């Protein structure tokens, strides 16, 4: 029987040393950068295609999501069913993630099946033909999902947030989805968007696994077929004028819980204060022992969980605090959030608490890079901002040097009451009502 005392946490040990492998880089004949992360023990080859496009680039609502989600069903010669059968037969998985300024396609293929399946993948990646019947199936599915989501307070709160944060500069994202916007989609829109966005200037390839010369040659042959085009432009900067200080509410009187979001425009990923702010965000609501968790959950019992995080795009981000709270305690929960934000401005963080958060962040960073696939994915994220694997070393070194003074000054600059838009969906308690 174990004599371990579960009530006593293990000792915190500093990170002494670690090393991230540098990828091999080459450039294809059409200009596509390729990064190889060698792993002789991994015979399941992972191809990560990163495309410089996303919902912020689309000409109309839903176009980007539909165009890239329907890719694998749009092979020019094979039906959706035939393509699916081939992918299954050759043990191939294709996962698509459509973001605001980036689309990622993670394709995993057993090494021995590369020669058979790559031509199929090339067909729907490079020369897709979108079919009306497949579009209709996805439209019907998304209409049902929308009807379900509109009943959820958290979904409604987040879409209010994006409408307020993005405003008129990105109407295809900030406007609300509806049956009409979904039904308005056409195959020609998807075809045009794919042709404009999926070009060599927008594509980067990351590969990990036990590749050899022949495997790499086949991968090069496929990606060299991506046509050249025009690189997606840098996203415009959202003006902060008129953002912040608003109180928005969408009533849902019959719900047992309300969803709250406090949000503000914030710094970009390459901002010199971003490392310190990421620590401040974690301390505020980014882990289980955060200030907001201790207040809203542990002391007041208003919620099961609360979080804070930043969503980065272009040279900016949106910082958001969110939670689902007891409906009859919505205002109390909002007030408690602002109390903690004010306390971080008024009082310096104790050394012990600060060191605990630093250890948590460092541990999370190391765990996020524990396999070659994870390292590849982290590198792909850094690459979006012009960085490489040295970003990990820089980030951890800066985390260690952050002082209570730095945290307090960042809170004074970024946690001012009037910088935040307050959003609640649930009981009618706010000054302004936002109809669907």
Domain 247-426, CATH among 3.10.20.340, 3.10.105.10, 3.30.830.10, 3.30.160.270: 3.30.830.10
pLDDT confidence tier of residue 428, bands split at 50, 70 and 90: low
**Domain 24-223 and domain 247-426 have a common topology:** yes
pLDDT classification of 13: cutoffs 50, 70, 90: low
CATH number of 24-223: 3.30.830.10
Residue 2: predicted pLDDT: 64
d(CA 168, CA 170): 6
| CB neighbour list of residue 6: distance below 8 Å, 6 or more residues apart | none
Q: Give the residue-averaged pLDDT of 216-240.
A: 95
Is pTM, for the whole model, over 0.75? yes
Q: What is the pLDDT of residues 43-72, one digit of tens each?
A: 999 999 999 999 999 999 999 999 999 999
16 has a pLDDT exceeding 70: no
User: How do the domains of the chain map onto residue ranges?
Assistant: 24-223, 247-426
**Residue 432: what pLDDT?**
42
Span 123-152, pLDDT tens digits: 999 999 999 999 999 999 999 999 999 999
Which region holds residue 386: left if phi is over 0, alpha if psi is between -120 and 50, else beta? left
Q: How far apart, in whole angstroms, are the C-alpha atoms of residue 265 and residue 85?
A: 45
Distance CA 416, CA 240 (A): 14
The answer to whether residue 435 scores a pLDDT higher than 60 is no
Residues 231/102, Cβ–Cβ less than 8 Å: no
Mean pLDDT of the chain: 94
What pLDDT is attached to residue 309? Answer: 97
Q: String of b and e for 323-361 (b: at least 16 CB within 10 Å)?
A: bbbbbebbbebbebbeebbeebbeeebeeeebebbbebb
């Amino acid at each position: 029987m174990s004599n371990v005392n579960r009530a006593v946490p293990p000792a915190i040990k500093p990170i002494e040393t670690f090393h991230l492998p540098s990828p091999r880089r080459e450039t294809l004949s059409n200009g596509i950068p390729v990064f190889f992360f060698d792993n002789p023990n991994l015979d399941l080859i992972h191809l990560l295609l990163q495309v410089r496009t996303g919902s912020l680039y689309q000409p109309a609502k839903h176009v980007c999501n539909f165009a890239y989600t329907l890719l694998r069903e749009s092979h020019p010669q094979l039906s959706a069913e035939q393509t699916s059968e081939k992918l299954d037969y050759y043990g191939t998985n294709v996962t698509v993630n459509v973001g605001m300024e980036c689309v990622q396609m993670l394709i995993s293929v057993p090494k021995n099946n590369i020669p058979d399946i790559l031509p199929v993948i090339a067909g729907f990646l490079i020369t897709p033909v979108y079919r009306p019947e497949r579009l209709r199936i996805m439209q019907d599915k998304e209409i049902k999902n929308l009807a379900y989501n509109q009943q959820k307070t958290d979904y409604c709160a987040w879409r209010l947030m994006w409408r307020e944060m993005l405003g008129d500069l990105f109407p295809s994202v900030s406007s609300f989805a509806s049956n009409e916007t979904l039904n308005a989609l056409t195959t020609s829109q998807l075809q045009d968007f794919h042709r404009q966005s999926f070009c060599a200037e927008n594509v980067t390839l990351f590969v990990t696994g036990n590749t050899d010369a022949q495997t790499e040659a086949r991968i090069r042959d496929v990606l060299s077929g991506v046509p050249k085009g025009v690189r997606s432009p840098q996203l415009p900067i959202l003006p902060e004028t008129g953002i912040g200080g608003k109180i928005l509410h969408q009533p849902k009187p019959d719900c047992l819980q309300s969803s709250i979001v406090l949000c503000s425009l914030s710094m970009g990923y390459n901002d010199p204060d971003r490392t310190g702010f990421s620590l401040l965000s974690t301390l505020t609501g980014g882990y289980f022992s955060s200030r907001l968790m201790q207040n809203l959950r542990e002391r007041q019992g208003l919620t099961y969980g609360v979080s804070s995080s930043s969503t980065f795009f272009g040279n900016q981000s949106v910082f958001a605090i969110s939670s689902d709270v007891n409906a009859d305690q919505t205002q109390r929960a909002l007030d408690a959030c602002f109390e903690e934000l004010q306390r971080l401005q008024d009082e310096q963080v104790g050394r012990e608490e600060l060191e605990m958060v630093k250890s948590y962040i460092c541990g999370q960073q190391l765990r996020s890079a524990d396999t070659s696939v994870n390292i590849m994915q982290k590198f792909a994220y850094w690459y979006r901002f012009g960085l490489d694997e040295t970003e990990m070393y820089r980030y951890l070194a800066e985390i260690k040097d952050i002082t209570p003074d730095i945290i307090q000054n960042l809170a004074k600059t970024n946690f001012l009451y009037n910088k935040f838009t307050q959003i609640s969906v649930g009981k009618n308690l706010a000054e302004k009502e936002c109809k669907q």
